[in-house]
A and B are shown apart, each in its own frame.
Chain A
Protein backbone atom coordinates (compact mmCIF):
# COMPACT_ATOMS: atom_id res chain seq x y z
CA UNK A 1 0.00 0.00 0.00
CA UNK A 2 1.43 3.36 -1.01
CA UNK A 3 1.87 6.07 1.58
CA UNK A 4 -0.73 8.65 2.39
CA UNK A 5 0.02 11.89 0.50
CA UNK A 6 1.46 14.45 2.90
CA UNK A 7 1.50 18.23 2.47
CA UNK A 8 4.68 19.73 1.05
CA UNK A 9 4.97 23.08 2.83
CA UNK A 10 5.88 26.13 0.75
CA UNK A 11 7.66 29.28 1.87
CA UNK A 12 4.21 30.80 2.30
CA UNK A 13 2.69 27.97 4.33
CA UNK A 14 5.74 26.96 6.40
CA UNK A 15 4.62 28.85 9.55
CA UNK A 16 1.27 27.06 9.49
CA UNK A 17 2.89 23.62 9.38
CA UNK A 18 5.49 24.58 12.00
CA UNK A 19 2.57 25.57 14.21
CA UNK A 20 0.84 22.25 13.58
CA UNK A 21 4.00 20.39 14.61
CA UNK A 22 3.90 22.38 17.86
CA UNK A 23 0.19 21.64 18.36
CA UNK A 24 -1.02 25.13 17.43
CA UNK A 25 -3.45 26.07 14.65
CA UNK A 26 -1.64 29.01 13.07
CA UNK A 27 -3.48 31.32 10.66
CA UNK A 28 -2.71 34.67 9.00
CA UNK A 29 -4.44 37.77 10.34
CA UNK A 30 -4.58 41.21 8.73
CA UNK A 31 -3.32 44.04 10.94
CA UNK A 32 -5.27 46.55 8.85
CA UNK A 33 -8.76 45.03 8.66
CA UNK A 34 -8.58 42.24 11.23
CA UNK A 35 -9.61 39.48 8.79
CA UNK A 36 -8.23 35.97 9.26
CA UNK A 37 -6.88 34.57 5.99
CA UNK A 38 -6.73 30.85 5.27
CA UNK A 39 -5.32 29.14 3.19
CA UNK A 40 -2.03 31.12 3.40
CA UNK A 41 -1.85 33.99 0.90
CA UNK A 42 0.66 36.73 0.04
CA UNK A 43 -1.88 39.46 0.84
CA UNK A 44 -5.11 39.97 2.76
CA UNK A 45 -7.91 38.60 0.57
CA UNK A 46 -10.45 40.88 2.32
CA UNK A 47 -8.70 44.27 1.92
CA UNK A 48 -5.63 43.43 -0.23
CA UNK A 49 -3.28 44.84 2.43
CA UNK A 50 0.24 43.44 2.84
CA UNK A 51 0.02 43.64 6.61
CA UNK A 52 -0.47 39.96 7.32
CA UNK A 53 0.90 38.46 10.53
CA UNK A 54 0.68 34.90 11.84
CA UNK A 55 -1.60 34.40 14.80
CA UNK A 56 -2.74 31.42 16.86
CA UNK A 57 -6.35 30.30 16.48
CA UNK A 58 -8.00 28.94 19.62
CA UNK A 59 -8.96 26.02 17.42
CA UNK A 60 -12.63 26.00 18.38
CA UNK A 61 -15.45 26.16 15.88
CA UNK A 62 -18.48 24.44 14.44
CA UNK A 63 -19.19 22.04 11.60
CA UNK A 64 -20.28 24.09 8.57
CA UNK A 65 -20.72 21.05 6.33
CA UNK A 66 -19.47 17.47 6.27
CA UNK A 67 -19.33 14.29 4.26
CA UNK A 68 -18.63 10.68 5.12
CA UNK A 69 -16.37 9.23 2.44
CA UNK A 70 -16.87 5.55 1.62
CA UNK A 71 -14.81 5.38 -1.59
CA UNK A 72 -11.34 6.73 -0.85
CA UNK A 73 -9.49 8.42 -3.72
CA UNK A 74 -6.30 6.60 -2.76
CA UNK A 75 -5.73 3.23 -0.97
CA UNK A 76 -3.74 4.93 1.79
CA UNK A 77 -6.99 6.32 3.20
CA UNK A 78 -9.12 3.85 5.13
CA UNK A 79 -12.81 4.44 4.44
CA UNK A 80 -15.17 5.34 5.90
CA UNK A 81 -13.83 8.65 7.15
CA UNK A 82 -15.37 12.05 7.76
CA UNK A 83 -14.30 15.33 6.14
CA UNK A 84 -15.72 18.63 7.33
CA UNK A 85 -15.61 22.30 6.56
CA UNK A 86 -15.06 23.75 10.03
CA UNK A 87 -16.02 27.37 10.66
CA UNK A 88 -13.51 28.55 13.26
CA UNK A 89 -14.68 31.03 15.88
CA UNK A 90 -12.17 33.63 14.60
CA UNK A 91 -14.14 33.77 11.32
CA UNK A 92 -12.28 31.56 8.84
CA UNK A 93 -13.01 28.11 7.45
CA UNK A 94 -10.81 25.10 6.91
CA UNK A 95 -11.08 21.54 5.64
CA UNK A 96 -10.03 18.69 7.91
CA UNK A 97 -10.99 15.23 9.03
CA UNK A 98 -13.50 14.87 11.84
CA UNK A 99 -12.95 12.07 14.31
CA UNK A 100 -16.05 11.10 16.27
CA UNK A 101 -19.02 8.79 15.95
CA UNK A 102 -20.30 9.46 12.43
CA UNK A 103 -23.97 9.12 13.32
CA UNK A 104 -23.56 11.98 15.79
CA UNK A 105 -22.20 14.49 13.25
CA UNK A 106 -24.50 17.34 12.34
CA UNK A 107 -24.14 20.79 10.83
CA UNK A 108 -23.51 23.21 13.68
CA UNK A 109 -21.87 20.65 15.98
CA UNK A 110 -19.16 22.25 18.16
CA UNK A 111 -15.64 20.93 17.54
CA UNK A 112 -12.06 21.65 18.59
CA UNK A 113 -8.76 21.03 16.83
CA UNK A 114 -6.26 18.27 17.64
CA UNK A 115 -3.07 17.21 15.86
CA UNK A 116 -1.49 13.93 14.84
CA UNK A 117 2.17 13.57 13.83
CA UNK A 118 2.43 11.74 10.49
CA UNK A 119 6.13 12.41 9.86
CA UNK A 120 9.00 14.32 11.44
CA UNK A 121 7.89 17.48 9.64
CA UNK A 122 4.14 17.09 9.26
CA UNK A 123 1.45 16.97 11.90
CA UNK A 124 -2.06 17.11 10.49
CA UNK A 125 -4.88 18.98 12.20
CA UNK A 126 -8.15 17.13 12.74
CA UNK A 127 -11.23 17.96 14.74
CA UNK A 128 -13.02 16.23 17.59
CA UNK A 129 -16.27 16.96 19.35
CA UNK A 130 -15.87 19.84 21.83
Chain B
Protein backbone atom coordinates (compact mmCIF):
# COMPACT_ATOMS: atom_id res chain seq x y z
CA UNK B 1 0.00 0.00 0.00
CA UNK B 2 1.23 3.46 -0.88
CA UNK B 3 2.09 5.55 2.21
CA UNK B 4 -0.75 8.10 2.41
CA UNK B 5 1.67 10.79 3.63
CA UNK B 6 3.34 10.70 0.22
CA UNK B 7 0.27 12.27 -1.36
CA UNK B 8 0.56 15.43 0.76
CA UNK B 9 2.74 18.53 0.43
CA UNK B 10 3.49 21.59 2.51
CA UNK B 11 2.83 24.64 0.35
CA UNK B 12 2.87 27.42 2.93
CA UNK B 13 5.30 28.15 5.77
CA UNK B 14 5.50 31.40 7.70
CA UNK B 15 6.79 32.87 10.95
CA UNK B 16 5.40 36.08 12.42
CA UNK B 17 7.78 38.51 14.05
CA UNK B 18 9.53 36.80 16.98
CA UNK B 19 10.60 38.98 19.91
CA UNK B 20 10.90 39.08 23.69
CA UNK B 21 7.70 41.12 23.45
CA UNK B 22 6.12 41.42 20.02
CA UNK B 23 4.02 44.40 21.07
CA UNK B 24 0.72 43.14 19.65
CA UNK B 25 -2.07 41.14 21.28
CA UNK B 26 -1.92 37.38 20.88
CA UNK B 27 -5.05 37.17 18.69
CA UNK B 28 -3.55 39.67 16.24
CA UNK B 29 -0.36 37.59 16.18
CA UNK B 30 -2.37 34.43 15.43
CA UNK B 31 -4.17 36.17 12.56
CA UNK B 32 -0.80 37.26 11.20
CA UNK B 33 0.42 33.63 11.37
CA UNK B 34 -2.70 32.42 9.52
CA UNK B 35 -2.59 35.10 6.81
CA UNK B 36 1.16 34.75 6.36
CA UNK B 37 0.97 30.98 5.90
CA UNK B 38 -1.83 31.38 3.33
CA UNK B 39 0.15 34.08 1.48
CA UNK B 40 3.18 31.77 1.39
CA UNK B 41 0.96 29.10 -0.20
CA UNK B 42 -0.67 31.48 -2.67
CA UNK B 43 -4.06 30.61 -1.18
CA UNK B 44 -6.87 32.54 0.48
CA UNK B 45 -9.22 31.69 3.35
CA UNK B 46 -11.82 30.55 0.81
CA UNK B 47 -9.45 27.80 -0.42
CA UNK B 48 -9.11 26.22 3.04
CA UNK B 49 -11.37 23.36 4.12
CA UNK B 50 -9.51 22.37 7.26
CA UNK B 51 -8.09 24.41 10.16
CA UNK B 52 -6.03 23.79 13.26
CA UNK B 53 -5.36 27.28 14.62
CA UNK B 54 -4.71 27.75 18.34
CA UNK B 55 -3.06 30.11 20.79
CA UNK B 56 -1.53 29.82 24.26
CA UNK B 57 -2.43 32.73 26.57
CA UNK B 58 -5.90 33.45 25.15
CA UNK B 59 -6.35 29.70 24.58
CA UNK B 60 -7.99 29.89 21.15
CA UNK B 61 -8.92 26.38 20.08
CA UNK B 62 -9.37 25.15 16.54
CA UNK B 63 -13.17 24.87 16.69
CA UNK B 64 -13.33 28.52 17.81
CA UNK B 65 -10.95 29.79 15.14
CA UNK B 66 -12.86 27.73 12.52
CA UNK B 67 -15.74 30.17 13.15
CA UNK B 68 -13.61 32.89 11.56
CA UNK B 69 -14.26 31.17 8.21
CA UNK B 70 -17.92 32.14 8.50
CA UNK B 71 -19.41 28.96 9.82
CA UNK B 72 -19.09 26.85 6.67
CA UNK B 73 -18.29 23.20 7.46
CA UNK B 74 -14.58 22.41 7.67
CA UNK B 75 -12.30 19.78 9.17
CA UNK B 76 -10.66 20.80 12.47
CA UNK B 77 -7.58 19.32 14.10
CA UNK B 78 -7.01 18.57 17.75
CA UNK B 79 -3.59 16.91 17.97
CA UNK B 80 -0.68 18.44 19.93
CA UNK B 81 0.87 21.50 18.30
CA UNK B 82 3.86 20.62 16.14
CA UNK B 83 4.60 17.46 14.18
CA UNK B 84 1.51 15.64 15.58
CA UNK B 85 -0.78 18.41 14.27
CA UNK B 86 0.95 18.31 10.92
CA UNK B 87 0.57 14.53 10.69
CA UNK B 88 -3.07 14.65 11.73
CA UNK B 89 -3.79 17.21 8.99
CA UNK B 90 -1.80 15.23 6.40
CA UNK B 91 -3.76 12.07 7.14
CA UNK B 92 -7.04 14.01 6.95
CA UNK B 93 -6.01 15.18 3.48
CA UNK B 94 -4.76 11.76 2.41
CA UNK B 95 -8.03 10.12 3.45
CA UNK B 96 -10.14 12.66 1.61
CA UNK B 97 -11.52 14.53 4.62
CA UNK B 98 -10.02 17.83 3.49
CA UNK B 99 -7.98 19.21 0.60
CA UNK B 100 -6.08 22.15 2.13
CA UNK B 101 -5.46 22.61 5.86
CA UNK B 102 -4.20 25.73 7.62
CA UNK B 103 -2.24 25.12 10.84
CA UNK B 104 -1.17 28.08 12.97
CA UNK B 105 -0.34 28.96 16.54
CA UNK B 106 0.81 32.01 18.48
CA UNK B 107 1.76 33.10 21.98
CA UNK B 108 2.06 36.59 23.44
CA UNK B 109 1.62 37.78 26.97
CA UNK B 110 1.78 34.39 28.65
CA UNK B 111 5.05 35.12 30.49
CA UNK B 112 4.07 37.87 32.92
CA UNK B 113 5.65 36.82 36.22
CA UNK B 114 9.29 37.45 35.44
CA UNK B 115 10.49 36.43 38.91
CA UNK B 116 9.58 32.89 37.84
CA UNK B 117 10.77 30.96 34.81
CA UNK B 118 8.39 30.96 31.80
CA UNK B 119 5.08 29.11 32.36
CA UNK B 120 5.84 26.54 29.66
CA UNK B 121 9.08 25.53 31.47
CA UNK B 122 7.39 24.42 34.68
CA UNK B 123 4.46 22.07 34.30
CA UNK B 124 3.22 21.21 37.78
CA UNK B 125 3.12 17.66 39.01
CA UNK B 126 2.91 15.95 42.36
CA UNK B 127 6.30 14.20 42.07
CA UNK B 128 8.37 16.91 40.37
CA UNK B 129 7.20 20.45 41.14
CA UNK B 130 7.80 20.18 44.90
CA UNK B 131 11.51 19.46 44.35
CA UNK B 132 12.07 22.60 42.27
CA UNK B 133 12.24 20.74 38.98
CA UNK B 134 11.59 22.49 35.67
CA UNK B 135 12.55 21.82 32.08
CA UNK B 136 16.19 22.92 32.39
CA UNK B 137 16.74 20.65 35.40
CA UNK B 138 15.00 17.69 33.73
CA UNK B 139 17.18 17.94 30.60
CA UNK B 140 20.27 18.58 32.76
CA UNK B 141 19.69 15.23 34.50
CA UNK B 142 19.87 13.51 31.09
CA UNK B 143 22.95 15.46 30.01
CA UNK B 144 24.83 14.73 33.24
CA UNK B 145 24.27 10.99 32.88
CA UNK B 146 25.50 11.06 29.27
CA UNK B 147 28.61 12.98 30.37
CA UNK B 148 29.20 10.37 33.09
CA UNK B 149 28.71 7.33 30.84
CA UNK B 150 30.39 8.55 27.62
CA UNK B 151 32.76 11.28 28.75
CA UNK B 152 30.88 13.97 26.85
CA UNK B 153 32.39 17.34 27.77
CA UNK B 154 30.80 20.62 28.71
CA UNK B 155 32.84 22.12 25.86
CA UNK B 156 30.89 19.88 23.46
CA UNK B 157 27.61 21.24 24.80
CA UNK B 158 28.97 24.78 24.45
CA UNK B 159 30.02 24.02 20.87
CA UNK B 160 26.42 23.14 20.00
CA UNK B 161 25.06 26.30 21.62
CA UNK B 162 27.65 28.55 19.98
CA UNK B 163 27.08 27.00 16.54
CA UNK B 164 23.29 27.31 16.63
CA UNK B 165 23.46 30.78 18.15
CA UNK B 166 25.85 31.80 15.37
CA UNK B 167 23.13 30.78 12.89
CA UNK B 168 20.56 32.92 14.67
CA UNK B 169 22.97 35.84 14.81
CA UNK B 170 22.91 35.84 10.98
CA UNK B 171 19.11 35.49 10.66
CA UNK B 172 17.37 38.90 10.65
CA UNK B 173 14.13 37.19 11.78
CA UNK B 174 15.78 35.65 14.87
CA UNK B 175 15.22 37.15 18.32
CA UNK B 176 19.01 37.10 18.81
CA UNK B 177 19.90 38.48 15.36
CA UNK B 178 23.21 40.32 15.55
CA UNK B 179 24.31 38.55 18.75
CA UNK B 180 27.03 36.04 17.85
CA UNK B 181 28.13 33.84 20.72
CA UNK B 182 31.42 31.97 21.11
CA UNK B 183 32.04 28.69 22.89
CA UNK B 184 33.81 30.65 25.64
CA UNK B 185 30.78 32.95 26.00
CA UNK B 186 28.62 29.88 26.63
CA UNK B 187 31.05 28.46 29.18
CA UNK B 188 31.33 31.83 30.95
CA UNK B 189 27.58 32.55 31.11
CA UNK B 190 25.88 32.14 34.49
CA UNK B 191 24.84 28.63 35.57
CA UNK B 192 21.13 27.72 35.35
CA UNK B 193 20.91 23.98 36.05
CA UNK B 194 24.35 22.41 35.82
CA UNK B 195 25.79 21.37 33.43
CA UNK B 196 23.66 23.98 31.63
CA UNK B 197 24.57 27.63 31.72
CA UNK B 198 22.38 30.45 30.43
CA UNK B 199 23.52 30.21 26.81
CA UNK B 200 22.98 26.41 26.74
CA UNK B 201 19.26 27.11 27.25
CA UNK B 202 16.45 28.07 24.89
CA UNK B 203 15.13 31.61 24.81
CA UNK B 204 11.77 32.62 26.22
CA UNK B 205 9.94 34.98 23.89
CA UNK B 206 6.73 35.63 21.95
CA UNK B 207 5.84 34.69 18.39
CA UNK B 208 3.61 32.80 16.02
CA UNK B 209 3.92 30.40 13.10
CA UNK B 210 1.77 28.83 10.40
CA UNK B 211 1.80 26.10 7.76
CA UNK B 212 -0.48 25.07 4.90
CA UNK B 213 -0.75 21.46 3.75
CA UNK B 214 -2.52 20.33 0.62
CA UNK B 215 -3.03 17.32 -1.59
CA UNK B 216 -0.49 16.43 -4.27
CA UNK B 217 -3.10 17.14 -6.92
CA UNK B 218 -3.84 20.63 -5.60
CA UNK B 219 -0.15 21.34 -4.93
CA UNK B 220 0.67 20.92 -8.60
CA UNK B 221 -1.76 23.73 -9.51
CA UNK B 222 -0.26 26.27 -7.07
CA UNK B 223 2.49 28.79 -7.76
CA UNK B 224 4.20 27.92 -4.45
CA UNK B 225 6.98 25.34 -4.52
CA UNK B 226 5.65 22.24 -2.75
CA UNK B 227 7.74 20.45 -0.14
CA UNK B 228 6.83 16.79 0.15
CA UNK B 229 6.16 14.64 3.20
CA UNK B 230 8.47 11.62 3.00
CA UNK B 231 8.06 9.99 6.39
CA UNK B 232 7.09 10.70 9.97
CA UNK B 233 6.56 9.01 13.33
CA UNK B 234 6.07 9.87 16.99
CA UNK B 235 7.88 8.40 20.02
CA UNK B 236 6.07 9.06 23.30
CA UNK B 237 7.05 7.36 26.57
CA UNK B 238 4.28 8.77 28.74
CA UNK B 239 3.78 12.17 30.31
CA UNK B 240 6.54 14.77 30.29
CA UNK B 241 8.05 15.88 33.60
CA UNK B 242 6.36 13.27 35.79
CA UNK B 243 8.70 10.27 36.02
CA UNK B 244 12.49 10.68 36.31
CA UNK B 245 14.26 11.09 32.94
CA UNK B 246 16.40 7.98 33.35
CA UNK B 247 19.00 7.75 30.57
CA UNK B 248 18.98 3.94 30.35
CA UNK B 249 15.24 3.94 29.73
CA UNK B 250 14.62 7.10 27.75
CA UNK B 251 18.02 8.09 26.30
CA UNK B 252 17.04 6.64 22.93
CA UNK B 253 13.64 8.31 22.62
CA UNK B 254 13.09 9.25 18.99
CA UNK B 255 15.23 6.39 17.68
CA UNK B 256 12.19 4.26 16.90
CA UNK B 257 10.35 7.21 15.33
CA UNK B 258 13.42 7.99 13.23
CA UNK B 259 13.81 4.40 12.02
CA UNK B 260 10.12 4.28 11.08
CA UNK B 261 10.25 7.62 9.27
CA UNK B 262 13.34 6.63 7.26
CA UNK B 263 11.82 3.23 6.45
CA UNK B 264 8.69 4.92 5.06
CA UNK B 265 10.72 6.46 2.24
CA UNK B 266 13.71 4.15 1.95
CA UNK B 267 16.15 6.86 2.99
CA UNK B 268 19.00 6.74 5.49
CA UNK B 269 20.44 9.41 7.81
CA UNK B 270 23.43 9.76 5.46
CA UNK B 271 21.10 11.17 2.81
CA UNK B 272 19.86 14.06 4.99
CA UNK B 273 21.12 17.49 3.91
CA UNK B 274 19.69 19.60 6.75
CA UNK B 275 18.72 18.63 10.31
CA UNK B 276 16.28 20.99 12.01
CA UNK B 277 16.69 19.18 15.33
CA UNK B 278 14.75 20.38 18.36
CA UNK B 279 17.22 22.29 20.54
CA UNK B 280 15.65 23.29 23.88
CA UNK B 281 19.07 22.77 25.47
CA UNK B 282 22.49 22.32 23.87
CA UNK B 283 22.89 18.70 24.96
CA UNK B 284 19.62 17.57 23.37
CA UNK B 285 21.17 18.07 19.90
CA UNK B 286 24.02 15.71 20.80
CA UNK B 287 21.49 13.14 22.00
CA UNK B 288 19.33 13.41 18.89
CA UNK B 289 22.31 13.06 16.55
CA UNK B 290 22.82 9.68 18.24
CA UNK B 291 19.15 8.67 18.49
CA UNK B 292 18.44 9.42 14.81
CA UNK B 293 21.52 7.52 13.66
CA UNK B 294 23.73 10.38 12.46
CA UNK B 295 26.44 8.94 14.71
CA UNK B 296 26.84 6.05 17.13
CA UNK B 297 25.62 6.15 20.72
CA UNK B 298 28.06 8.07 22.87
CA UNK B 299 29.74 9.75 19.90
CA UNK B 300 27.50 12.83 19.70
CA UNK B 301 29.97 14.98 21.63
CA UNK B 302 32.77 14.26 19.17
CA UNK B 303 30.39 14.64 16.20
CA UNK B 304 29.59 18.30 16.89
CA UNK B 305 33.24 19.42 16.92
CA UNK B 306 35.08 21.09 14.03
CA UNK B 307 32.05 22.88 12.63
CA UNK B 308 30.30 19.72 11.48
CA UNK B 309 26.82 20.96 12.49
CA UNK B 310 27.32 24.53 11.25
CA UNK B 311 25.94 25.78 7.94
CA UNK B 312 28.79 24.84 5.62
CA UNK B 313 29.53 21.69 7.64
CA UNK B 314 28.64 18.08 6.85
CA UNK B 315 25.26 18.19 8.64
CA UNK B 316 23.93 21.71 9.33
CA UNK B 317 21.67 21.69 12.42
CA UNK B 318 19.05 24.25 13.52
CA UNK B 319 19.97 26.49 10.61
CA UNK B 320 17.55 29.33 11.44
CA UNK B 321 18.99 29.68 14.94
CA UNK B 322 16.64 27.22 16.61
CA UNK B 323 15.12 27.56 20.05
CA UNK B 324 18.46 28.86 21.32
CA UNK B 325 18.50 31.97 19.15
CA UNK B 326 15.60 32.15 16.67
CA UNK B 327 12.57 31.65 18.93
CA UNK B 328 11.08 29.67 21.79
CA UNK B 329 7.55 31.01 22.17
CA UNK B 330 6.04 28.19 24.21
CA UNK B 331 4.51 26.04 21.45
CA UNK B 332 5.14 27.87 18.15
CA UNK B 333 8.72 26.56 18.06
CA UNK B 334 7.31 23.05 17.59
CA UNK B 335 5.88 24.20 14.23
CA UNK B 336 8.96 26.28 13.48
CA UNK B 337 11.12 23.16 13.05
CA UNK B 338 9.12 21.93 10.00
CA UNK B 339 8.92 25.55 8.83
CA UNK B 340 12.72 25.92 8.96
CA UNK B 341 13.05 22.68 6.98
CA UNK B 342 10.58 23.94 4.35
CA UNK B 343 12.37 27.29 4.12
CA UNK B 344 15.73 25.54 3.64
CA UNK B 345 14.38 23.25 0.94
CA UNK B 346 12.75 26.20 -0.82
CA UNK B 347 15.87 28.34 -0.50
CA UNK B 348 13.97 30.97 1.49
CA UNK B 349 16.35 31.46 4.42
CA UNK B 350 18.94 34.28 4.29
CA UNK B 351 21.75 33.52 1.83
CA UNK B 352 24.34 33.20 4.63
CA UNK B 353 22.28 30.38 6.17
CA UNK B 354 21.23 28.59 2.99
CA UNK B 355 22.44 25.03 2.54
CA UNK B 356 23.11 24.82 -1.22
CA UNK B 357 21.08 22.23 -3.14
CA UNK B 358 19.43 20.84 -0.01
CA UNK B 359 16.95 18.12 -1.05
CA UNK B 360 16.21 16.16 2.13
CA UNK B 361 15.57 17.63 5.58
CA UNK B 362 14.63 16.19 8.95
CA UNK B 363 12.62 18.20 11.50
CA UNK B 364 12.15 17.01 15.06
CA UNK B 365 10.18 17.89 18.19
CA UNK B 366 10.78 17.03 21.82
CA UNK B 367 13.64 15.50 23.75
CA UNK B 368 14.72 12.99 26.36
CA UNK B 369 14.07 15.36 29.28
CA UNK B 370 10.42 15.48 28.16
CA UNK B 371 10.12 11.74 27.32
CA UNK B 372 8.92 12.32 23.76
CA UNK B 373 10.59 12.86 20.41
CA UNK B 374 8.96 13.10 16.96
CA UNK B 375 10.57 12.93 13.53
CA UNK B 376 9.46 14.31 10.16
CA UNK B 377 11.29 13.87 6.86
CA UNK B 378 10.67 16.37 4.07
CA UNK B 379 11.97 16.53 0.51
CA UNK B 380 12.00 18.70 -2.60
CA UNK B 381 10.68 15.73 -4.62
CA UNK B 382 7.81 13.36 -3.77
CA UNK B 383 8.70 9.94 -2.36
Structural contact, A75 and B116, CB atoms closer than 8 A: yes
Is B224 in the interface zone, CB < 8 Å from A?
A: no
Residue of B nearest to A69 (CB): B193
A residues in contact with B236, CB < 8 Å: none
Structural contact, B145 and A107, CB atoms closer than 8 A: yes
Is B223 in the interface zone, CB < 8 Å from A?
A: no
Question: How many A-B contacts if CB must be within 8 Å?
Answer: 103
A1-28, CB under 8 A of B: which get 1 and which 0? 0001111111001000000000000000
Instruction: Count how many chain A residues have C-beta atoms less than 8 Å from C-beta atoms of the other chain.
Output: 34
Residue of B nearest to A9 (CB): B126
A95-130, CB under 8 A of B: which get 1 and which 0? 111000000000100000000000000101000000
A residues in contact with B180, CB < 8 Å: none
Known contacts A73-B117, A74-B132, A97-B131, A66 near B141 by CB under 8 Å:
yes
Structural contact, B132 and A97, CB atoms closer than 8 A: yes
B residues in contact with A67, CB < 8 Å: 137, 140-141, 144, 193-196
In the complex the two chains form, what is the Cα distance from A93 to B244 in whole Å? Answer: 7
In the complex the two chains form, what is the Cα distance from A74 to B113 in whole Å? Answer: 10
Known contacts A73-B132, A83-B131, A85-B141, A65 near B247 by CB under 8 Å:
yes
Which one, B130, B195, B244, contacts A5 given CB within 8 A? B130
A residues in contact with B128, CB < 8 Å: 95
Q: How far is the CB of A117 from chain B (nearest CB, A)?
A: 13
Q: Could you list which residues of chain A lie within 8 angstroms of chain B, going by C-beta atoms?
A: 4-10, 13, 39, 64-75, 77, 81, 83-85, 93-97, 107, 122, 124
Can you list 21 A-B contacts with CB-CB less than 8 angstroms, sorted by A residue number? A5-B130, A7-B127, A10-B126, A39-B127, A39-B242, A64-B247, A65-B141, A67-B137, A67-B144, A67-B195, A69-B137, A70-B194, A71-B193, A74-B122, A85-B141, A85-B246, A93-B244, A95-B244, A96-B131, A107-B144, A124-B130
